[in-house]
Amino acid sequence: MAQVSKPQALVAAGAGAVLLGILAVRIKRARARKAYELPAWLRWLEESSSHLRMRMREWEDGPWRRSRGWHGSDLIHSPDSAVYIPCYFYSPEEKILQGPVEFRSGAESHRGICHGGAMTSAMDDVLGHLAFLAAGTGPWSGATVQVNCKLSKPVRVGQTLLLEGRVAKQEKRKVFVEARMLDEAGDVYATMDGLSIVGAKIQAEETDLDKRRWHFDDEMRAVLDSPDHRHVLGGSLS
């Protein structure tokens, strides 16, 4: 039987440790997302019979995301994001998209206060995804071309607010969205009006990702990025 030298054994052990470390990080991130609980004052979102939880596989499955051509993590929906929206809830009848937004230490500007750009980034996100949903086609089916924000009150590091966007009107390919950011007491921190163009071509070459269609699943109380995502989730909303 061939003998393994000590250096070879050390290299193998080191490689194994690295792989275990990577796996541990992935498990930790998956558990962090899975374990997320809405603040008590926002739990009505998941309890509402008129709201569907929005599920995007590229927000939840890092390896799948990378294998499909993304280069990094999502600016807003990655568990490590400085400005983090862990989940959205969509009301198809009202065309309203709502969810919590956490402002973390990485979003800090003035001492203890979050950067204004962190607030506008969250506004931009809800505008775009609501426009995609309202258009009724599928994910990434357009592009935001205008975002007008009014910042009324500073956000503290560590604060969680409610972000909500609603469709103001639709004109052919144009989706006009209004949004606001408020706290538990109802105090408004920012408002926004913006415009997204449905069907705007962003990718030089389209793939199957660009052909996905929303799947509204009443049993799961969710709107998925495609019917295939349901099979991956196995009927689970955790």
- Sequential pLDDT tens for the chain (238 residues): 556 566 665 556 666 665 665 565 455 445 445 568 999 999 999 999 999 999 999 999 999 999 999 999 999 999 999 999 999 999 999 999 999 999 999 999 999 999 999 999 999 999 999 999 999 999 999 999 999 999 999 999 999 999 999 999 999 999 999 999 999 999 999 999 999 999 888 888 889 999 999 999 999 999 999 988 876 665 455 4
Tokens at residue 201, please? 């071509």
**Which pLDDT belongs to residue 191?**
99
Tokens at residue 125, please? 């996100």
H or E segment and range at residue 20? helix 6-34
Give the strand pairing for 96-103 and 160-171. antiparallel
**Which pLDDT belongs to residue 232?**
66
Give the strand pairing for 142-151 and 88-91. unpaired
CA distances to 77, 156, 189 from 153, rounded to whole Å, are 23, 10, 5
Specify whether the CB–CB gap between 236 and 225 falls below 8 A.
Answer: no
Closest alpha carbon to 105 in 118, 116, 114: 114
Work out the number of other CB atoms within 10 angstroms of the CB of residue 21. 10
Q: Is the pTM of this model over 0.95?
A: no
Q: How many residues does the chain have?
A: 238
Work out the number of other CB atoms within 10 angstroms of the CB of residue 200. 12
Specify whether the CB–CB gap between 114 and 154 falls below 8 A.
Answer: yes
Give the strand pairing for 222-224 and 188-198. unpaired
